[in-house]
Structure 1
Amino acid sequence: MSTLRPALLTDHYELTMVSAALRDGTADRRCVFEVFSRRLPAGRRYGVVGGTGRLIEMIRDFRFDPAEIDFLRRTGVVDEPAAQWLAGYRFTGDIDGYAEGELFFPGSPILTVSGTFAECVVLETLVLSVLNHDSAVAAAAARMVTAARGRALIEMGSRRAHEEAAVAAARAAYLAGFRFTSNLAAGQRYGIPTAGTAAHAFTLLHDDERAAFASQVATLGKDTTLLVDTYDIAQGIRNAIAVAGPELRAVRIDSGDLAVIAQQSRELLDSLGATETKIIVSGDLDEYAIAALAAEPVDMYGAGTAVVTGSGAPTAGLVYKLVEVEGRPVVKRSEHKATIGGRKVAVRRHKPTGTATEEVIVPQGVPDRQPNDRLLQHSYVVSGEPETLPTLEESRDHLRQCLISIPWEGLKLSAGDPAVPVTVVPAS
């Protein structure tokens, strides 16, 4: 975990509100906050819930230590009553939400946090920081997995992100179906398979390309991947097979017109007898570039920058809004930012074949359940105590099943309507 404790991963104004609410007596009012997105990023047809497992662990550890309380006092962020309240803070409410790996659409109540106003409001920034980042990465990665059409992907974007964001991004990409990550911290923390061999620097270090390849093969054996585009790609492939033989596992190409080069490389490898040697391509790949290579003889893709930045949508656009106070719905009426009051329950409606047809959201009520409906919310925290969470592998499988369930049009990379329409049933 990060060396930075989660309690100060928050915004100043949350503690300002706590101070004022404690003073005026509203801090203990029972409230419900919901996390949802008003719209999907441009061109997207679905969102992916990512980061829930990380978030619940951080909320479990959400405490203010004496040094943090002293900092808040000294800087005037809180007054003395608020400082004392924060010193004893422990979330005692309930958290329900969509499963990690679940798809979401505009208006989907993907997380519901209920408890006193004060204990819920201080979680706002942490909740949104984790879910917005991980959900954005997971959605982009899921689109890349779809574009890859069953070919493996390795996440290799650590050098394009903050060091802790890189670990979270690797987890979110694996959730979405990536096979490997290059990030060793992600491998240690989350059990994600790691992969990696050598960079151009290793080739340049040696007197010639063959010497570099010979060193790598001597260390790792023939079950390795040789980077063949430091100089001339065709000659690099010849050198790789000359050193490792036709049993070489793979070559990687990181530059050039990948469609043309992949074809030429396959032909050359086959002519050298290396018919089983795989071709891995990398170099600023996103879902569109991967889709464009669908007909080419590529066996694995390495994606970096586009993954960790959400492929043009670095945030999922999620918001954390108060929707209920003491059992009474509250509604924000700002133009273009209106909310629907009251705690909501959501179901995903399906055909008997399993294809999703609609998401039904009911404020302050229970949906009229139909035979093929699936309730979307699950308990994560009850009276402050975390429930047993699904494993990352289970969440990964859940997303795979969700993507299978949506109409095929919803998997297109082109802009269009959400894959599943959302219906909000008026409160009775």
Structure 2
Amino acid sequence: MSTSTGRSTALLTDQYELTMLQAAIDSGAAHRRSVFELFPRRLPAGRRYGVVAGVGRALDAIESFRFGDDELEMLRSQQIVDEPTLDYLADYRFGGDIWGYPEGETYFPYSPLMVVESTFADAVLLETVLLSIYNHDSAIASAASRMTWAAGERPVIEMGSRRTHEWAAVAAARAAYVAGFTATSNLRARLEYGIPTAGTSAHSFVLVHDTETDAFRAQVHSLGKGTTLLVDTFDIAEAVRIGVEIAGPDLGAVRIDSGDLAVLAYRVRAQLDELGATKTRIIVTSDLDEFAIAGLSAAPVDGYGVGTQLVTGSGHPTCGFVYKLVAREDSSDELVGVAKKSKDKISVGGRKYALRRLSPDGTAQAEILGVGRPVENDGDDRTVLVPLVRNGKVVGRESLEDARERHQRSRAELPLVARQLSKGEPVIETHFEGYE
């Protein structure tokens, strides 16, 4: 949910974050300087790159991570944690530093999307809410990026609100916009984030009228000739004829929501042109994904509406991000790398510094991660991490337009093979420097 409602995000978390905090306060480790990193061990199967989204929402969530009277009373009455822990939580304000990949940036296996440096207590509390936001929003943006790349210059509209949780729909609209969608059907997303909205009518509007002619006449009279008429309720050819008869050659668009979309688009285009409606656009919907959009690239389609496949990440509804402690203060006040030892879930200890290695012509070649120290830039490369929070104060907030532009630039850097929708390995490799 957007934090503009003023609601605390503190209980959007797992209980073990608080029980760990209690035990760490008891042991004295709570205030030990620590570094956590949020990263993917791999990309979703077959994907060649991912897209970072949710950064702005995460920053809002950090600012709203406060334990007020209601939150504290629940924890106390349910005996979730003890009184010393409640005292700590009552005064909780994140006071550390955070660096991260900015919104819209592409990412690869082990990219340190967020680096959180503070006390153990401060940082561990943020784990669940940060993962929740990043895993959802980045899954949507990664799918949306493939769809907009497949669509080329044709606009893509997000219309998946009815296929997901009501507040997830708002976040999905935001993430899709970052990755190049031009508009959303969701009005809350317009209120919260200023995303352009679009929408005209559904089949029920046609069916509630006595005839399709009555429905089209009412819609054109109320919304103007530039409206979009849904033409597949009964007979498409007849609906197109009626629509142009009522609105004239200035009819804005027709929408096809069923059938063989490519074949129908050709037929409707020919009919519109024959009727003199040469500028009337054809919009197609009906469970589209990136593969269906690519398959329509040669058809006379002017725009796409995407719902279910977008808000479910087109088969990958989460990114598999993790949030791990990678360094902590030792007895001599130095940061030392730490990592879980596991053959199946590999983590690399030590604070990471990320650099995107580019060729002289600006093509991405590798993701270079320095362990414990920054990576040397050879002159063509660029640093990926930017400051997001400094001493507890958000410094990395930016507009969605900035994020959209960044995504276009970052995606354009990738080798051409990144455009392929077939399953493959990450388009660039990840290399560690200073890790043994």
SS at match of 1:7: coil
One-letter amino acid of the structure 1 residue matched with residue 293 of structure 2:
I
Q: Which structure 2 residues correspond to residues 102-141 of structure 1 after superposition, within 5 A? A: 102-141=105-144
**Residue of structure 1 in register with 2:419 after alignment:** 411
**Residue of structure 2 in register with 1:392 after alignment:** 400
Distance in 2 separating the partners of 1:125 and 1:232: 51
Q: Give yes or no for contact 2:387–2:396 (8 Å, CA) kept in 1.
A: no
Paired residue for 1:205, among 177, 200, 208?
Answer: 208
**Residue of structure 2 in register with 1:297 after alignment:** 300
Distance in 1 separating the partners of 2:432 and 2:342: 19
Distance in 2 separating the partners of 1:186 and 1:366: 38
Q: Give yes or no for contact 1:98–1:377 (8 Å, CA) kept in 2.
A: yes
**Residue of structure 2 in register with 1:277 after alignment:** 280
Alpha-carbon displacement from aligned partner over 1:134-186 (angstroms, at most 9, x marks no partner): 00000000000011011000000000111110000000000000001000010
1:367 aligns with 2:370: no
Paired residue for 1:37, among 40, 44, 50?
Answer: 40
Q: Give yes or no for contact 1:182–1:195 (8 Å, CA) kept in 2.
A: yes
Q: How much does 1:334 deviate?
A: 1.7
Paired residue for 1:172, among 171, 175, 200?
Answer: 175
Q: Which structure 2 residues correspond to residues 21-170 of structure 1 after superposition, within 5 A? A: 21-170=24-173
Q: Which structure 2 residues correspond to residues 315-394 of structure 1 after superposition, within 5 A? A: 315-326=318-329, 327-394=335-402
1:308 aligns with 2:308: no
Q: How much does 1:388 deviate?
A: 4.3
Q: Give yes or no for contact 2:41–2:346 (8 Å, CA) kept in 1.
A: no
**Residue of structure 1 in register with 2:332 after alignment:** none
Name the count of aligned residue pairs: 428
One-letter amino acid of the structure 2 residue matched with residue 359 of structure 1:
E
Q: How much does 1:297 deviate?
A: 0.3
Distance in 1 separating the partners of 2:396 and 2:89: 27
Q: Give yes or no for contact 1:248–1:274 (8 Å, CA) kept in 2.
A: yes
Paired residue for 2:238, among 227, 230, 235?
Answer: 235
Q: Give yes or no for contact 1:410–1:420 (8 Å, CA) kept in 2.
A: no
Q: TM-score, normalised by structure 2?
A: 0.97
One-letter amino acid of the structure 1 residue matched with residue 26 of structure 2:
R
SS at match of 1:113: strand
Alpha-carbon displacement from aligned partner over 1:291-319 (angstroms, at most 9, x marks no partner): 00000000000000111110000001100
Distance in 2 separating the partners of 1:155 and 1:128: 24
Q: Which structure 2 residues correspond to residues 220-259 of structure 1 after superposition, within 5 A? A: 220-259=223-262
One-letter amino acid of the structure 2 residue matched with residue 14 of structure 1:
E
Segments of 5+ residues of structure 1 without an aligned counterpart are none
Q: How much does 1:425 deviate?
A: 1.3
Distance in 1 separating the partners of 2:214 and 2:288: 29
Distance in 2 separating the partners of 1:272 and 1:251: 14
Q: Give yes or no for contact 2:389–2:396 (8 Å, CA) kept in 1.
A: no
Distance in 2 separating the partners of 1:5 and 1:76: 20
One-letter amino acid of the structure 2 residue matched with residue 206 of structure 1:
H
Q: How much does 1:427 deviate?
A: 3.7
Distance in 2 separating the partners of 1:247 and 1:418: 46
Q: Percent identity?
A: 54
Paired residue for 1:288, among 282, 288, 291?
Answer: 291
Distance in 2 separating the partners of 1:181 and 1:398: 20
Distance in 1 separating the partners of 2:13 and 2:67: 12
Q: Give yes or no for contact 1:93–1:116 (8 Å, CA) kept in 2.
A: yes
Distance in 1 separating the partners of 2:401 and 2:255: 28
Q: How much does 1:13 deviate?
A: 0.4
Paired residue for 1:12, among 15, 26, 31?
Answer: 15
One-letter amino acid of the structure 1 residue matched with residue 395 of structure 2:
E
Distance in 2 separating the partners of 1:5 and 1:32: 25
One-letter amino acid of the structure 1 residue matched with residue 236 of structure 2:
I
SS at match of 1:337: coil
Q: How much does 1:335 deviate?
A: 2.3
Q: TM-score, normalised by structure 1?
A: 0.99
Q: How much does 1:252 deviate?
A: 0.2
Distance in 1 separating the partners of 2:96 and 2:392: 5
Distance in 1 separating the partners of 2:150 and 2:61: 33
SS at match of 1:316: coil
One-letter amino acid of the structure 1 residue matched with residue 423 of structure 2:
A
Distance in 2 separating the partners of 1:180 and 1:417: 31
Alpha-carbon displacement from aligned partner over 1:373-419 (angstroms, at most 9, x marks no partner): 10000000001011042211001000001111100101211111211
SS at match of 2:249: coil
SS at match of 2:129: helix
Runs of 4+ off more than 2 Å: 1-5
Q: Give yes or no for contact 2:141–2:178 (8 Å, CA) kept in 1.
A: yes
SS at match of 1:245: helix
Distance in 1 separating the partners of 2:106 and 2:346: 23
Distance in 2 separating the partners of 1:427 and 1:404: 30
Distance in 2 separating the partners of 1:413 and 1:99: 25
Q: How much does 1:331 deviate?
A: 1.3
Segments of 5+ residues of structure 2 without an aligned counterpart are 330-334
